[in-house]
Structure 1
Amino acid sequence: MLFAGITDAVVQDYQTCQKRRELLVEHVRKDNREPDRGLILLFENFEVENIKFNFESNFRYFSEIEGESACVIAISFFEGSCKYSLYVPNCMKYRKLYRGHFVEPNIENAKKLKFDEISFLGNKEIDHDYLGKYFECSDYENLLNLISENIKLGAKIYTLSPNDRLSYYDSRFAIDRIINFLPDITKDYIIDITEIVARMRRKKDSIEVKKISKALELTACGHAKMARFIYNRWLKEKDKRVKLEKKEGIKSVNSKWLSEREIQAEGERVFVRGGGEPAYESVVAGCRDAETLHYHDNSKYVEDQVIVDMGARLDGYCSDITRTYPAFGEFTEKQKELYSILLGAQECVVKVARPGFWLTGTKDLAKNLTSFAKSYLNKNGGLDKYMPHSIGHHIGLDIHDGIFYGQLEVGNVFTIEPGIYGVPYVDEDGFQHYFSARIEDNYLVEEDGVRCLSDFIPKKPEAICKFMKDGLTLN
């Protein structure tokens, strides 16, 4: 039996992953002075009991295997030959009982997944339905033997092992534990390939772009649901206030007519019903907490406007969209003025973005897209001081895809997301307000510029208001 979800429709994905593995070997050899022999190891994440399993994006990129924890891709290369192996935990009995799916080591499955062989990590059967981080030597016996044999023959181990505090915890933990089991192996045998893999993943192929576009369509449906929900709730609240004023002769001061979590639930429900899930922790900020960039509590009530940063993940790939909705269905003149300046900053960046430019991180301001956005905001009301972050990030299997960004290249998919937070203004009645807004879209880098993949999700002031009233029609 193979893991859940295997259909003829994913055969092309497996073939693509096979080509990626072959290309990975080429890059590893080229970047390391053409070693005669080597062993590449790519680790899937481990499971933690009672916590939703999150796949390791690099493992997924090179295998398209979904929902199977603690697996390992092992690629042995020697001179002109390569052997592509998949190692799986020896817990088939319990996986079948509790999960109903597993990767069974046999020739048929190896052929389907485009590997030369599938083997158990160890010969001893595990008495659980998954293999945890603190695996025993016997749990990894077969993989440990492969590593030892390669080391004895002069091979190095090429894997994801960057020297930072934030990346690839499970992969690095597995390597450290393997070194503990094999005392003859030291850190000197481990070669980090993080930059090689990041370089490969930054450039999206047509299949990846299509998957991101599908995720964006689902995201658009979620935002349409939320936008209409906000507007319809305001109509009900407005009607209540009118009736109360007529009956009691007093104006309602109800400030808890719409909670952030209610909006969040509307959007995320659409994602789940559409076969996806939230790509990241959703941000629904309808109060002063909008000034906190990654505000995830979503526990307050809507005031003047609401920032909704919410995107769907579908078939493994992420989308990342932010829209700012006026709480009462229409922007005030001042809100519209500030929002339009922010939109202008995004449009300014879109016009100049092309291969060779940087999102941020370069002193060459003529090619720094963050600098373009902030310069525009500075020239239009001095608003640059209210934008404390860079202009965007890459997206793909991860919502912040890849560790090393570098210059934009054809095939990159990234966000352009200017934002301003806590801009003070006084309304026509003399009351103090604070305006916060962010506009985020997803773009594909092409030869002569960038193309917006999410341009069907309204964002101009008038279009946002119409979106809230009428929803969205996808072709």
Structure 2
Amino acid sequence: MKLVKLVSLLLLLVTVHTFGQTPTDYLSKDFHKKRRATFRAKMPANSIAVIFANPVRNRANDVDYVYHQDPNFYYLTGYREPNAVLVIYASDQKNGDGTTYNEVIYVQERNPNAEMWNGRRLGTEGAKKELGFASAYNAIDFLNANIDFKKFDKIFIEKFKDDYRNTGNSAEVFDLVKSFKTKAGYDPNIYLSRAKKYVYELVKSTPIENSANVAQVIGRIENRFPDIKEDDLLMKYKTATDAKLKGDLKEKITLKLTPKTNIDIDFLSTTLSDMREIKSPEEIKLLTKAIRISAIGQIEVMKAMKPHMSETELQGIHEFVYKKYGAEYEGYPSIVGAGNNGCILHYIENNKTKVGNDLVLMDLGAEYRGYTADVTRTIPANGKFTPEQKAIYDIVYNSQEAGIKASVVGASFGAPNAACRKVINEGLLKLGIIKTINERHNYLPHGVSHYIGLDVHDPGTYGNFRANSIITVEPGIYIPEGSPCDKKWWGIAVRIEDDILITEKGPINLSAEAPRKSNEIEKMMAKKSVLDEFVLPDLDKE
């Protein structure tokens, strides 16, 4: 008996010790609880919201991708496992025993065998203790739950992407979504793509005697928009010759424009976009850490970079710094493009074996406790800008300074973009790369700002700036080989991107730790790197 007690005590100590070694700076359960309360307060009377966790996605064969939670689900729950559902009610509900509740989370069940292979699960008790839910059940209970969805005036969901597999296990997201669709009477035509809605409206507004014109439109666009080609009503309408049949089809298509349903796919996304735009102090703290980690990664690469290095090696240094600081993931696929590769905006191959004397554009961001940075620096591989490289770089820097200055409370979301483009056009004109100030060109083909947060392109209203939102300001100039300008500019690509906190007192550059001025970059690159002596065996030598 004493031995049993001793073993139990040792297991307890090991458990406590193990949990003491895991991160403790995630958002608190109170944070997520307050987010649910805020969302509930915005819900109209007699409504219900149903939010599903992300599915597990397959990489190849029996290997899955590292799991990443749906950001909205995480924002409202803090739950980081798959196969779960959150149900939020606008008003209190009652159990059979008279207990009231206004939210329920359904989580994946504890399973010793599964946990042996894939790690510990929270289970229902963990959801109550660690996430702060009063009502927590196993996911399989959602399949059996007697929720009368039809009694609610509104059911709020997000648009289903239907990208989850049916692996045969019970109560996975595939089953949870299928069960909901059946019980709620889900009609896939609730969501009409822009193209399909356009064609439906065209059918509705076009007299039958002119329906041949609509048929021609369908014929022109059906191959570009698969959902139109897969629509039986539209395909029959396109080929029908009988006026009465066309009239019947028109009536059915018109009804689809206003489906009779209590399911709403806009409110949940729109409401959470508005909420997530404004960051709480806890969120700003985590985002700032993610951003500083990313900025330090840029600094270490500046010191370590040599012309003989590959794009992949430089990517590895960045991501090593992230892991050294305990960042779980990269917030998005890392971009490291040398020379002309930098002109590919989302270049992720990173397979150039030597960066040589090119400029190297490095757009990377650490994800820390769910929050993602987005920081870009462009630096000369050999430590010194050529005159042409410096000329382009300094235009982008001055452009970014103007963009940051325009990022103030009350300004339109497009204000930084307008400020950046003005400086870039003036600079390109002065260098003779464009011929007139209003010349249409593709040297800056993207907008310069987006929100960051739980997503690298975080949702938001994209209206006038509000305090405590965090955006990027990322102007660039990209001159790919073959551009209509002097060849001396070809292959130069520069982007500078920083993460800016909007405050009542003005913008704060949270990533300013990484040098931005051309002369400051050169000074940083002249410093010794701790990796200078890190030399691995040459595997190509026999």
What's the TM-score, normalizing by structure 1? 0.78
In 2 relative to 1, CA 221–154 (structure 1 residues): closer, same or farther, beyond 3 Å? closer
For structure 2, which runs of at least 5 residues remain unmatched after alignment?
A: 1-11, 94-99, 165-171, 191-260, 435-439, 531-542
Q: For the residues of structure 1 that align with 2:396 and 2:480, how far apart are their CA atoms?
A: 12
Give the drift of 1:356.
2.6
| 2:170 paired with 1:119 | no
Find the counterpart in structure 2 of residue 319 from structure 1: 373
| 2:93 paired with 1:20 | no
- 2:448 corresponds to which of 377, 380, 391: 391
Q: For the residues of structure 1 that align with 2:286 and 2:47, how far apart are their CA atoms?
A: 33
Question: Bigger shift: 72-81 or 300-309?
Answer: 72-81
Give the drift of 1:14.
0.6
| 2:47 paired with 1:38 | yes
In 2 relative to 1, CA 471–200 (structure 1 residues): closer, same or farther, beyond 3 Å? farther
In 2 relative to 1, CA 184–216 (structure 1 residues): closer, same or farther, beyond 3 Å? closer
Question: Bigger shift: 91-100 or 411-420?
Answer: 91-100
For structure 1, which runs of at least 5 residues remain unmatched after alignment?
A: 30-34, 124-139, 235-256, 361-367
Give the drift of 1:201.
0.3
Find the counterpart in structure 1 of residue 326 from structure 2: 275
- 2:287 corresponds to which of 212, 218, 241: 212
Q: Is the 8 A contact 2:158 2:269 kept in 1?
A: yes
Give the drift of 1:443.
0.4
Find the counterpart in structure 2 of residue 159 from structure 1: 157
Would you say how many aligned residue pairs link Structure 1 and Structure 2? 406
| 2:180 paired with 1:182 | no
- 1:16-165 to 2 correspondence within 5 Å? 16-29=31-44, 35=45, 37-49=46-58, 50=63, 51-66=65-80, 68-78=81-91, 82-90=101-109, 92-106=111-125, 109-122=127-140, 140-143=142-145, 145-146=146-147, 148=148, 150-151=149-150, 153-161=151-159
In 2 relative to 1, CA 406–178 (structure 1 residues): closer, same or farther, beyond 3 Å? farther
Give the drift of 1:173.
7.2
Question: Bigger shift: 89-98 or 370-379?
Answer: 89-98
Q: Which amino acid aligns with 2:264?
A: I
1:431-472 deviation line (CA, Å, top 9, x unaligned): 674321000000011114311111111110111111212279
In 2 relative to 1, CA 72–399 (structure 1 residues): closer, same or farther, beyond 3 Å? same
Q: For the residues of structure 1 that align with 2:453 and 2:326, how far apart are their CA atoms?
A: 18
- 2:525 corresponds to which of 458, 464, 468: 468
- 1:375 corresponds to which of 397, 406, 422: 422
| 2:315 paired with 1:264 | yes
Corresponding residue SS for 2:519: helix
Q: Which amino acid aligns with 1:344?
A: N
Give the drift of 1:404.
4.4
Q: Is the 8 A contact 1:288 1:434 kept in 2?
A: yes
Corresponding residue SS for 1:406: coil
Q: For the residues of structure 1 that align with 2:137 and 2:348, how far apart are their CA atoms?
A: 42
Q: Is the 8 A contact 1:420 1:437 kept in 2?
A: yes
RMSD, aligned α-carbons: 3.1
In 2 relative to 1, CA 377–121 (structure 1 residues): closer, same or farther, beyond 3 Å? same
Q: Is the 8 A contact 1:88 1:121 kept in 2?
A: yes
| 2:251 paired with 1:198 | no
In 2 relative to 1, CA 282–109 (structure 1 residues): closer, same or farther, beyond 3 Å? closer
Q: Is the 8 A contact 2:411 2:465 kept in 1?
A: yes
Structure 1 or 2, whichever has the larger Rg, is: 2
Q: Is the 8 A contact 1:84 1:117 kept in 2?
A: yes
- 2:492 corresponds to which of 418, 429, 435: 435
Give the drift of 1:45.
0.5
In 2 relative to 1, CA 184–168 (structure 1 residues): closer, same or farther, beyond 3 Å? closer
| 2:406 paired with 1:352 | yes
- 1:302 corresponds to which of 323, 346, 355: 355
Give the drift of 1:58.
0.7
Corresponding residue SS for 2:51: strand
Corresponding residue SS for 1:306: strand
**% identical aligned pairs:** 26
Corresponding residue SS for 2:32: helix
- 1:280-291 to 2 correspondence within 5 Å? 280-291=332-343
Corresponding residue SS for 2:30: helix
Corresponding residue SS for 2:109: coil
In 2 relative to 1, CA 349–197 (structure 1 residues): closer, same or farther, beyond 3 Å? same
In 2 relative to 1, CA 160–183 (structure 1 residues): closer, same or farther, beyond 3 Å? closer
Q: Is the 8 A contact 1:224 1:472 kept in 2?
A: no
Q: For the residues of structure 1 that align with 2:375 and 2:311, how far apart are their CA atoms?
A: 17
Question: Bigger shift: 315-324 or 189-198?
Answer: 189-198
1:23-66 deviation line (CA, Å, top 9, x unaligned): 0011122xxxxx2x222112110113422212111111111222
Q: For the residues of structure 1 that align with 2:526 and 2:66, how far apart are their CA atoms?
A: 36
Q: For the residues of structure 2 that align with 1:12 and 1:279, how far apart are their CA atoms?
A: 18
Q: For the residues of structure 1 that align with 2:289 and 2:301, how far apart are their CA atoms?
A: 19
Q: Which amino acid aligns with 2:359?
A: Q
1:145-195 deviation line (CA, Å, top 9, x unaligned): 23x3x43x3353212228xxxx79669977862354337455522122110
In 2 relative to 1, CA 358–266 (structure 1 residues): closer, same or farther, beyond 3 Å? same
Q: Is the 8 A contact 2:451 2:459 kept in 1?
A: yes
Q: Is the 8 A contact 1:393 1:401 kept in 2?
A: yes
Q: Is the 8 A contact 1:354 1:445 kept in 2?
A: yes
Q: For the residues of structure 2 that align with 1:114 and 1:418, how far apart are their CA atoms?
A: 43
Q: For the residues of structure 1 that align with 2:35 and 2:54, how far apart are their CA atoms?
A: 20
Give the drift of 1:12.
6.2
Q: Is the 8 A contact 1:215 1:317 kept in 2?
A: yes
1:373-421 deviation line (CA, Å, top 9, x unaligned): 1111112233683111001110001110016422221111010000000
Q: For the residues of structure 2 that align with 1:472 and 1:449, how far apart are their CA atoms?
A: 35
Q: Which amino acid aligns with 1:24?
A: F
Q: Is the 8 A contact 1:83 1:116 kept in 2?
A: no
Find the counterpart in structure 1 of residue 478 from structure 2: 421
Q: Is the 8 A contact 2:143 2:176 kept in 1?
A: no
Give the drift of 1:102.
0.8
Q: Is the 8 A contact 1:75 1:82 kept in 2?
A: no
In 2 relative to 1, CA 89–390 (structure 1 residues): closer, same or farther, beyond 3 Å? same
Q: For the residues of structure 1 that align with 2:379 and 2:83, how far apart are their CA atoms?
A: 42
